[in-house]
Structure 1
Amino acid sequence: MKLSLRLVSAVLISSMLLVATATEISPEAVAPRTCETLSGRYKGLCWSSNSCALICREFEQFEGGHCRGFIRQCYCTTKCC
């Protein structure tokens, strides 16, 4: 007995819809993006990410900071929208 093309198509579409609705992404699974901005207050080469983060938090109202790059510079970080 042959299955009709309409029946096969209906079963395939139904199974695809079922899979698509069953795999929801929880908000905890999506990590917030982090934006970086070159610090305007940190002077000199950045050797300590702790001091960079302190300058960014205390004087530039960012959430943190870290050193990076070949020419070690301080980048302040915050969560992006």
Structure 2
Amino acid sequence: MADKGVGSRLSAFFLLVLLVISIGMIQLELAEARTCKTPSGKFKGVCASSNNCKNVCQTEGFPSGSCDFHVANRKCYCSKPCP
């Protein structure tokens, strides 16, 4: 009979741990901000270097930028946190 009490406590403990972990994961998902991307208005040509793209995007007032595929070639997309 004593073993049943220990088993119940152990099961309850594991359920509590799982609950705490899942709440932490939900909070992490909520904390991540979405990123909005916009094609660069100043970048010319095929985007081969994300560093160059990032530098051009910063002159346009964006904190970051990267080369992404668009149809058949790579274009420079500027990014910022979504409002």
TM bin, normalised by shorter chain, reads 0.5 to 0.7
% identical equivalent positions: 41
Local SS of the residue matching 2:73 = coil
Q: Which runs of 4+ in 1 moved over 2 A?
A: 23-26
**Structure 2 unpaired stretches of 5+:** 1-18
One-letter amino acid matched to 1:80: C
**Structure 1 unpaired stretches of 5+:** 1-18
More helix by share: 2
- TM-superposed deviation, 1:38: 0.3
RMSD: 2.0
Tell me which residue corresponds to 1:34: 35
Tell me which residue corresponds to 1:75: 77
TM-score (norm 1): 0.63
Q: Which has the higher Rg, Structure 1 or Structure 2? A: 1
In 2: Cα distance, 1:29 partner to 1:51 partner: 31
Aligned positions, number: 59
Local SS of the residue matching 2:57 = helix
Local SS of the residue matching 1:72 = strand
